[in-house]
Amino acid sequence: MELLGNPEFWKYLSIPLVAGLVGFGTNWLAVQFTFYPIEFVGIRPWFGWQGIIPAKAEKMSGIVVDTAMSKLGSLPEIFDEMDPDVIAWHIIRYAEPRIEELVDEIAGRDNPGLWKHMPELVKRNIYARIRRDFPAQVQKLVREMGERIDELVDLKELVVLQVMQDRTLVNRIFQEAGEVEFRFIINSGLWFGMLFGVVQMIVWYFSQAWYILPAFGFLVGYATNWIALNIIFRPLYPVQVGPWKLQGIFIKRQPDVARIWGKLVAHDVLTIRNIMQTLIEGSGAPIAKELIEKHMRPLVDESLGIARPLVRAAVGARNFDNMRETTAEKALEMSQQPFADEAFNTDRAELIANMIRERMLELSEKEFQMILRPAFQEDEIKLILIGAGLGFLAGLGQFILVFGGFA
């Protein structure tokens, strides 16, 4: 009882407790600084902070593609898994009810007077021909898109485009894959910190030099981060130690991560909507336009039938060619609209999620760790040193406030 009433006892006991809190707090801050804030807060360039991953979203998304996604399936494989015939029929179902509206708009754009006064019988014939030929042309178009998808869409460009539109996406890619690991980093700081604190307490008992507590605070902030990061990824391969099999925490979770990451990537990144958006807006857009024009041009020629020479003569060769080009432009314009359908996106995404999950389960340990490793490798030492610096300040504060140092 005398011991419990002794103020010196509580002062010494506070050393491992404070060390545990320092370890917990510095690890928590390290994780927060990795992801937040999304946008820079402060005065550029030196005073302020932006989460490491959001700050380097473009670079990080490129790393994800190079180290992970490129091993989970090529774009041709992904597009083929989505089933080009199903995609084509989805476009056809969406466009068919609007055939007459689209024909009226295209035909009336260059020479509205001619189309307005064209006999209804001729118009109905044109509508019927286009309605008849449209499905076959769309199927040919989508199949050729699938065969040439690598020319039309760059996988890295696709991912970077999505990430730069929403920087929280790259955070989610790492957070959802490594939720268990990030929680371990934070919680392990408490226990490792307390263990270091016991050693610190023993050293302090024999030597009460002013630098002992700040130095141990620095060590706790540094070491708890470093140890936690290594336990996540090391050992890479299972190591038998007595009755225990040791392996990195993240590596052991490969089946669980494969399910989580497959769903995230399929539903938020490699969607049919995002693929089509990149196809229309990305570096392959000129090729996509040529491809659409190639398959849509016959619709104009076939639909006019025997009236084609008369229409060409009436509107002129240039306007007639413009009409064919306008058809392609209109098709390009409306090509993204069918893919705004959430139900269709979800349906196709489930196929890709299963494919990615199966491919991830086939990855070697070395390949699999790169799903999450880039989140830590990027400025890892900076985060560890921030933790060490905060630990130093906490130790100095303990020396002054608890033990009355410098008084």
Q: Residue 343 in contact with residue 69, Cβ under 8 Å?
A: no
Residues 35 and 238: their CA atoms lie apart, in Å, by 30
The residues facing 241 across adjacent strands are 244
Residue 316, pLDDT score: 47
pLDDT at 285: 82
What's the token pair of residue 49?
């902070």
Q: What is the predicted pLDDT for the residue at 317? A: 46
Using a CB cutoff of 8 Å and minimum separation of 24, what contacts does 359-364 make? 359/71, 359/72, 359/73, 360/72, 360/254, 360/257, 360/258, 360/261, 360/262, 361/254, 361/255, 361/258, 363/71, 363/254
Specify the pLDDT at position 301.
61
- Nearest one of 325, 324, 334, 322 to 280, comparing CA atoms: 334
pLDDT in tens, 27-46: 888 788 888 888 888 888 77
Alpha helix (H) ranges present in 148-253?
149-152, 155-165, 168-177, 179-206, 212-233, 249-252
Strand partners, 246: 239
- Which residue, 76, 85, 173, is CA-closest to 375? 173
How many residues does this entry show for the chain? Answer: 407
Sign for the CA dihedral angle at 353, 355, 360, 361 comes to: positive
Q: Phi, psi at residue 403, to the nearest 5°?
A: -105, 5
The structure's pTM equals 0.73
pLDDT of residue 201: 83
* 364 vs 370: CA distance, rounded Å: 10
User: Is omega for the bond preceding 7 within 30 degrees of 0, making it cis?
Assistant: no
What sign has the CA pseudo-torsion 81, 84, 89, 90? positive
103-120 exposure pattern, b = at least 16 Cβ within 10 A, e = fewer: beebbebbbeeebeebee
Ordered mean pLDDT values, 10 residues apiece, the chain (407 residues): 62 81 82 86 82 82 76 84 90 82 67 65 77 86 89 86 83 83 84 84 81 82 77 81 80 87 87 86 83 75 52 48 58 72 89 89 84 70 76 79 66
Q: How many CB atoms lie within 10 A of CB 384?
A: 19
Q: What is the pLDDT of residues 345-374, one digit of tens each?
A: 899 899 899 988 888 888 888 888 887 777
